[in-house]
Structure 1
Amino acid sequence: MWQNLWHTMVTQRGQIWEALLQHIGLSLLSLLIAAAIAIPLAIILTPHKKIAEGVLQITSVMQTIPSLALLGILIPFVGIGTVPSVIALVVYAVMPIFQSTYSGLSEIDPSLQEAATAFGLPRWMRLFRIDLPLAMPTIIGGLRVALVLIIGTATLAALIGAGGLGTYILLGIETNNNSYLIIGAVLSALLAIFFSALIRWLGRLSLRRMVEVVAIAVALIAGAAGYQSYTAKTATITIAGKLGSEPDILINMYKELIEQQDHKLQVVTKPNFGATSFLFKALQSNQIQVYPEFTGTVTQTILKSHTKTSHNPQQTYEKARAGLSSEYQMSYLKPMKYQNGYDLAVTQQFAKKYDLKTISDLREIATKLHAGFDPDFDHQKDGYPGLQKAYNLQMGSIRTMEPSIRYKALVNGKVNVVDGYTTDAEIQQYHLVVLKDDLHYFPPYQGAPLLKTSTLKKYPALKPALNKLANQITEKDMQTMNYDVQVKHEKASTVAHHYLLTHHLLK
């Protein structure tokens, strides 16, 4: 493992450094904005105890909002990337800063304030000469708590394309790569320790010197943000993908094919973006231009079809294409050959012990089944609820867990059946048995590029470029490519390039 960690750090030092700087910039910007809101507000409300307590209650409630839910709410209004991430982080940081400032100012000995007033000091001078210096240790404590909270929560910003160290944490979870996990987690922890110590040192400076240091930090962050905004404008087409190796491979294929078709088009990729809802909202708001989506997901999740999805792949694709066109004015280009559909998998030993070949065979041992399911599969109507009804299958127990964990639980004997996808690398890695869907319950899941019709009209080169993948890539091809990324830890861009070259899709 340590050898893989060192190899990853050496080969990806540029990307790691970029992610680290993104995380620092995002965290410090959020802290400065939160402090600029919370500290003046606490100063204003300190004489008004009831109002201040009401504001404190409101900020406390805001902290209870789940971060993923808050990001999902923000996307339709402010898009993806840095802006919604900063807003969410500010929301979480305001409470500890406001609370510490209010407490520090409220606990000042009234006799000191009375003496200052007796000497004729105006309120603003008393604030800077007496109140703030006395309250500063408490305020600094609140800032340290807020910054540690921000650095930890900022890892989720990677889900909406804001980058940072969360990219490595999420990618490590999805691809079962401990090196990525260690890099993301350890660097996040070191950042929290370093900046906590830095704020403590800042608290020992005089108020004037502290203001000067903060002003320099603001200038540096503003300059970095301006440069990032300037460079972002050069990207014409933004392609995003969901969490995992497979979407990452596909968007890198899209990038190469588009740039080959039209050399003037500049393409940027945003991998590991998160759930379908995040990506679709980003597409609607023009924050991204293209992402790969699956036909079954379109009919069941995006179009929310109340009729049973056809098991004919072509009919399912046509239904998805027509629905996206009429309801959302989007174009769904030609699908690839393979299907990334749901399946149920067991170990070879378990299959041999109970002679399991199909999902129907599970009925005979239903009470002995202890399943590990992805949370989505456990609740979606095209997942276990529908499967249970179709097969009249009542399993002994079900535990929901993250996708990358459920396979480990299966191999370690914690569960004996898991859901998965037909192209998962773990099927090959652990030599699992995929049970045949003999009642043809699961709908077809063919992947195809999804984009706005207006985008297609603006950039006509996209259609012939992306359609080069039509009817390409078999399930075995994708399973092997996922294996190369997740198990052999090859770069998704390298694996994608190799496939395009060997199948003569690149000149």
Structure 2
Amino acid sequence: MNQIFQILSERRGDLGVALLQHLQISLVSLLIAMVIAMPLAFWAVKHTRAAEFLLQIASILQTIPSLALLGLLIPLVGIGTVPAVIALVVYALLPIFQNTYLGLTEIDPALEEAADAFGMSRLQKLLKVELPLAMPTIISGIRTALVLIIGTATMAALIGAGGLGSFILLGIDRNNTALIVIGAVCSGILAITLSALIKWLEHASVKTALGILSVSIIFLAGSGIYQAVTSQKETIIIAGKLGSEPEILINMYKDLIEQDDSHVQVTLKPNFGKTTFLYSALKNGKIDIYPEFTGTVLETFAKSPVKTAGLSEKETYEKAKKLMYEQDKLTLLKPMAYDNTYALAVKTSFKNKNHLKKISDLANITNQLKGGMTLEFIDRGDGFKGIKKLYKIDFPVKSMEPALRYQAINQNKVNIVDAYSTDSELRQYHLSILKDDKHNFPIYQGAPLMSNDFANKHPHIVHSLNKLAGRITEKQMQEMNYEVNVKNMDPRQVAHNFLVKQHLLKEK
């Protein structure tokens, strides 16, 4: 409990932002789903065959896994709030349409005939007779949709839309139960509160319900306008992948940029998502900068295979820089010193017991190996695919999220994992890296990636970020990761402290 209260105190600003983002995404999705589903249900009451067809379509849409739906939407609408809202609307259609349709079709036919006898128009009958009678059933469907939306909206953090899911993802990544609890509990409280408000609408008049709907729309529109009007400075959006290291780096970027130019305001989007999400967001103009690695550029983004084995640090960077410029009109700035390469890691005790020093030694004990690796590493040519091909070894591997694989090896559920050379968990869990004696892994030096247009229009920002070129050793990066992941220090403070010690930032 003490850790939860401490995090609430330290991150109350972040929690407020995440809560507002979650509320906005949820309410926008609910309102759009209502605008689509309810009129369709009103129309379908008089068209039975069409109603059955629409119910089937809504049911099929709801069976699509959320991650799959988000993945399908990214190439079409990019990253961020838009695909998150579209996905949530899709999931909310069924309960709203179904309950609205049922509520209207279950009205006593005698009451319908009485309304017709009084000479009511179709609209008058809907507003004065049908809606009031069907309201409890309709409200029940809206409540179900709302709870579904708020729970599913935690997935929005995976594609940079923010919300309370960012706390949950951060907690999983850092093995911090308190962060997970805060994100989950706040999401639950939000669902209960809004559900109770909608429950109250069962007893309200149609005018009151419409009034609250109007206020919600004004709130959502007003908050967006306010944010746009109150931001006098130019806003630069910098995003980072999942993990402590990208978050430390983007905070360094922010400090350096804002120190050198007081007219620029930097907005950070930490734990934005997977590599391909960030790359897509950058190309689509959703973000301006993010930290990437030279090896990732050549292995993941190259449309044609690029030979990376045996390349020096300089050769790897020059190839990556040229590729980004020619292929996607992107600029890769000068890299930092450390090489955050892939590695295979085992417990030091396991290493000593089996006399392991290099990856080639694994060939002697493949029958003992049980791997836990990230899905990205398993599927990469310079990852497990390359290991199997180059070293002629194979063993069973389970795909796991980055933080979970370290928990698994610590609990002896697996005995070999993929790692990065700067991971704090290597020190935390007493793991040893096996030497890549056949040079499967290319060099991974980190550098800011941005569009050519952005770089040309912001030479002062390029100058600020290039101050990190050639700096930060592997030991320094691992120590900073350890301070965040194990000592639970704020990444902002860790980044600030490093820059001050390196005389790159003035002490405040």
**TMscore range, shorter length:** over 0.9
Equivalent residues in 2 for 1:215-294, closer than 5 Å: 215-231=214-230, 234-294=233-293
Kept after mapping to 2: 8 A contact 1:310/1:316? no
Distance in 1, Cα, partners of 2:175 & 2:265: 31
Partner of 1:448: 447
Shift of 1:135: 1.7
Displacement of 1:330: 1.1
Residue matched to 2:172: 173
**C-alpha displacement at 1:109, in angstroms?**
2.7
How many residues matched?
A: 505
- Partners of 1:167 and 1:229 lie apart in 2 by 23
Counterpart CA distance in 1 for 2:128 and 2:462 is 66
Give the corresponding residue for 1:21. Answer: 20
Q: How far is 1:307 from its partner? A: 3.6
Partner SS for 2:16: helix
Tell me the TM-score normalized by structure 2. 0.95
CA contact (8 A) 2:298 2:306 kept: no
**Structure 2 partner of 1:318:** 318
Q: Which amino acid aligns with 2:314?
A: Q
1:464 lines up with 2:463 in the alignment: yes
Asked if structure 2 preserves the Cα contact closer than 8 Å seen for 1:311 and 1:444, the reply is no
Q: Percent identity?
A: 54
Question: 1:476 is matched with which residue?
Answer: 475
Q: Deviations over 1:321-373 (max 9, x none)?
A: 11111111111111111112111111122112111111111111101101111
Kept in 2: contact 1:295–1:316 (CA 8 A): yes
Could you list the runs of 5+ residues in structure 1 that have no partner in the other structure? none
Q: Give the partner amino acid of 1:303.
A: A
The separation in 1 between residues aligned to 2:61 and 2:234, in whole angstroms, is 35
Cα separation, partners in 2 of 1:32 and 1:117, compared to 1, 3 Å: same
Q: Which residue type is aligned with residue 215 of structure 2?
A: I
Partners of 2:237 and 2:24 lie apart in 1 by: 22
2:340–2:445: 8 Å Cα contact kept in structure 1? yes
Match of 1:214? 213
Cα distance per residue 1:137-168 (max 9 Å; x no partner): 22111111111111111112223333221111
Residue 417 of structure 1 is matched in structure 2 by 416
Residue pairs, 1:483-502, within 5 angstroms: 483-502=482-501
Q: Distance in 1 between matches of 2:208 and 2:285?
A: 44
Sort the Cα spacing of 1:226 and 1:80 in 2 relative to 1 into closer, same or farther, 3 A.
Answer: farther
Counterpart Cα distance in 2 of 1:426 and 1:408: 9
C-alpha offsets along residues 288-347 of structure 1, whole Å, 9 cap, x if unaligned? 111111111111111134243233222221111111111111111111111121111111
SS at match of 2:61: helix
Q: Distance in 1 between matches of 2:267 and 2:316?
A: 30
Do the aligned residues in 1 keep the contact of 2:294 with 2:320 (CA within 8 Å)?
Answer: yes
Cα distance change of structure 1 residues 390 and 218 upon mapping to structure 2, 3 Å threshold: same
Q: Counterpart in 2 of 1:187?
A: 186
What does residue 337 of structure 1 align with? 337
> What residue is the counterpart of 2:382 in the other structure?
382
Equivalent runs, 1:78-227 vs 2, <5 Å: 78-227=77-226
Question: Within 1, Cα distance between the matches of 2:143 and 2:62?
Answer: 17
- Are the equivalent residues in 2 in contact too, given 1:367–1:394 (CA < 8 A)? no
What's the counterpart of residue 302 of structure 1? 301
Gaps of 5+ in 2: none
Q: Aligned in 2, Cα 1:232/1:62: closer, same or farther, shift over 3 Å?
A: farther
Distance change in 2, residues 1:346/1:232 (3 Å): farther
Alpha-carbon distance between aligned partners in 2 of 1:372 and 1:440, rounded to the nearest angstrom: 21
SS in 2 for 1:236: strand
| Cα drift, residue 42 of structure 1 | 0.9
CA change 1:278–1:358 in 2 (3 A) is same
Provide the rounded CA distance (Å) in 1 between the counterparts of 2:67 and 2:431.
Answer: 33
> For residues 232-257 of structure 1, what are the alpha-carbon distances to aligned partners after superposition, in whole Å with 9 as ceiling and x for unaligned?
67443111111111110111111111
Q: CA deviation at 1:463?
A: 1.9
Bigger CA drift: 434-443 or 299-308? 299-308
How far apart are 1:73 and its partner, in Å? 4.5
Distance 1:180 1:289, change over 3 A: same
- For 2:233 and 2:120, the matched residues in 1 are separated by 54
Partners of 2:306 and 2:277 in 1: how far apart? 25
Q: For the structure 1 residues 186 and 435, does the alpha-carbon distance in structure 2 shift closer, same or farther, using more than 3 Å as the test?
A: same
CA distance in structure 1 between the aligned counterparts of 2:29 and 2:76, rounded to whole angstroms: 19
Moved more, 155-164 or 454-463: 155-164
Amino acid at match of 1:139: I
> Residue 249 of structure 1 contacts residue 495 of structure 1 at CA under 8 Å; is this kept in 2?
yes
What CA distance in whole angstroms lies between the structure 2 residues aligned with 1:82 and 1:315?
38
Q: Take 2:9 and 2:503, find their aligned partners in 1: how far apart are those partners?
A: 32
